[in-house]
């Protein structure tokens, strides 16, 4: 079952510049940062109050984030939801017409064409 929102993902040109702005405006604090060269991105988890955001900056020109930025510019990318049973939730998603884009042991992405135009990341707690 889906238990709560985990974070909202946003593609940005520069994590440091965006974090500086979010910090000044909303008191954002960096929780952690990790580069994923194989995916073409660096991710930075940020807290604003009780909410979390993932800032995703491209590394190079290959991967989802660089291509998203080139096509759409900076902005909203996905909503991450937490699941207490990913396998059962994925079965339910498919039963109800959602298509799974990718699935790993602890994470799945649902195709936005089957979820009202929103890319959902489902992460197992």
Residues 6+ apart with CB under 8 A from 88: 1
* pLDDT given at position 37: 94
* pLDDT given at position 81: 98
The CATH number for 48's domain is 3.10.180.10
* pLDDT given at position 18: 98
- Residue 16 in tokens: 């440091």
Residue numbers of the domain that contains 15: 2-124
Please give the distance of CA 7 from its chain centroid, rounded to a whole number: 7
Mean pLDDT of the chain: 97
Number of structural domains found in the chain: 1
């Amino acid at each position: 079952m889906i238990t709560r929102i985990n974070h909202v993902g946003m593609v940005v040109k520069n994590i440091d510049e965006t974090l500086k702005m979010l910090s000044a405006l909303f008191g954002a604090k960096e929780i952690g940062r990790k580069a994923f060269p194989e995916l073409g991105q660096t991710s930075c988890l940020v807290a604003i109050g009780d909410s979390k955001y993932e800032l995703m900056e491209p590394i190079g020109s290959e991967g989802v984030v660089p291509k998203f930025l080139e096509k759409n510019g900076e902005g909203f990318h996905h909503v991450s939801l937490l699941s207490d049973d990913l396998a059962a939730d994925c079965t339910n998603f498919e039963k109800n017409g959602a298509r799974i884009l990718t699935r790993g042991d602890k994470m799945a992405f649902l195709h936005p064409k089957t979820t009202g135009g929103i890319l959902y990341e489902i992460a197992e707690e």
